[in-house]
């Protein structure tokens, strides 16, 4: 019996090392990494600048605690606020912790408004983490199963439905915030409809709600802009980021703007490790590499190339529905459980991860070559035809 608690349905693959968009297992087999550790390794595996920065910083100073000033944390905070156009930041260790901080900011906003039992609007099919508060916010019965009683104060409404927002506002005068993923990730790579994010911004302004965007999966350049909401021309009050922020080093951040940036005061929140010198050095290096290598533009261009290649390779596959998403956040939808296609892809040497009920996620590194993008599409095409069959010509 394994000493590891049985919480993951792992593939029977043990990875020994990686380079760029490729991984090797302990049997010497090579795999194309099509999901980047679930949107984390945006710069690829073993990126030399990130590896060098970690080694240098580990040899100088890893941790001091937030009881002292950390110059690297200040620099990382300035850099992150600059690209996000936000005013202040709390560093933490993960996306779930970033969302926990966002939820606490919403509670402080409620107290400022004199609301003792506030509600936060969240979306069906959403995913915000697996802590007790963030799984309560998540719009998935599967994630919540077995963990009741849940944290109260969340109202779930359909994604991409502004009428549902208006109906909730009419039914509850104690709503204080909206928490939403600009593109739903775990739920199946579901983009917003035209005008949806702008509509949320307008309603938050009208009702004095905080607009809190969870960009843990879709942020840090994956869609071709630093953050997915920037395509819509809006600004949130609170923004959660993680995953690609550390390219594999565990780090998250909750950013705030305007009045929301001043709600947290000494004693309201804290973390032992968040934003320590090592994590902050990695954040600075990740942002620098993305800027200097123009990887946002690369993500947008490569995403269009890969999506077109996928449509071409999957044309005629029985049960194939569509390719959707933005940049290098791509979902391939089928009319059935995609697990057999995922398993067939593994046999082709391609690693993918399911999302929602019928979708495979492609979240590769922004450093993926054009040749490897075409190879991903070709391998997935062969896997889908083998698992689902092809329609008669």
Residue numbers annotated as active site: 127, 214, 243
Extract the runs of DSSP E, i.e. beta strands, from the chain. Answer: 15-19, 22-25, 30-33, 88-92, 119-123, 154-157, 175-180, 210-214, 238-241, 252-256, 320-326, 329-334, 350-351, 353-355, 359-362
Among residues 232, 234, 217, the alpha carbon closest in space to that of 99 is found at 217
| Backbone CA torsion sign across 361, 365, 367, 371 | negative
Helix (H, G, I), strand (E, B) or coil at 212: strand
Who's near 265: CB < 8 A, 6+ residues apart?
none
* Spatial distance between the Cα atoms of 103 and 120, rounded to a whole number of angstroms: 8
Whole-number Å distance between alpha carbons of 75 and 73: 5
Compute the chain's Rg from CA coordinates.
21
């Amino acid at each position: 019996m394994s000493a590891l608690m049985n919480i993951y349905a792992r593939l029977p693959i043990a990875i020994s090392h990686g380079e760029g968009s490729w991984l090797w297992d302990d049997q010497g087999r090579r795999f194309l990494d099509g999901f980047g550790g679930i949107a984390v390794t945006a710069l690829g595996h073993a990126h030399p600048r990130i590896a060098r920065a970690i080694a240098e910083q580990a040899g100088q100073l890893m941790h001091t605690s937030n009881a002292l000033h950390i110059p690297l944390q200040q620099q990382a905070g300035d850099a992150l606020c600059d690209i996000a156009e936000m005013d202040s930041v709390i560093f933490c260790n993960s996306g779930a912790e970033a969302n926990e901080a966002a939820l606490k900011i919403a509670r402080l906003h409620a107290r400022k408004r004199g609301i003792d039992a506030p509600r936060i609007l969240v979306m069906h099919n959403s995913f915000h983490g697996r802590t007790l508060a963030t799984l309560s916010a998540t719009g998935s019965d599967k994630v919540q199963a077995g963990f009741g009683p849940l944290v109260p104060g969340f109202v779930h409404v359909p994604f991409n439905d502004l009428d549902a927002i208006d109906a909730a506002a009419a039914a509850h005068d104690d709503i204080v915030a909206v928490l939403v993923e600009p593109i739903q990730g775990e739920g199946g790579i579901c983009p917003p409809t035209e005008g949806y994010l702008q509509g949320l911004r307008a309603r938050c302004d009208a009702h004095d709600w905080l607009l809190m965007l969870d960009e843990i999966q879709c942020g840090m350049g994956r869609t071709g802009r630093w953050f997915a909401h920037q395509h819509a021309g809006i600004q949130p009050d609170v923004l959660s980021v993680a995953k690609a922020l550390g390219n594999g080093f565990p780090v998250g951040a909750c950013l705030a703007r305007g009045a929301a940036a001043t709600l947290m005061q000494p004693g309201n929140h804290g973390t032992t490790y968040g934003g320590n010198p090592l994590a902050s050095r990695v954040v600075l290096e990740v942002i620098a590499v993305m800027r200097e290598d123009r990887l946002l533009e690369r993500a947008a261009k490569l995403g269009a190339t890969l999506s077109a290649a996928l449509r071409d390779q999957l044309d005629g596959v029985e049960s194939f529905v569509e390719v959707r998403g933005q940049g290098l956040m791509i979902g391939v939808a089928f009319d059935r459980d995609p697990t057999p296609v995922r398993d067939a892809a593994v046999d082709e040497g391609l690693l993918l991860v399911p999302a929602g009920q019928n979708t495979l996620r492609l979240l590769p590194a922004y450093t993926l070559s054009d040749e490897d993008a075409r190879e991903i599409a070709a391998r997935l095409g062969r896997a889908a035809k083998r698992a689902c069959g092809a329609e008669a010509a």
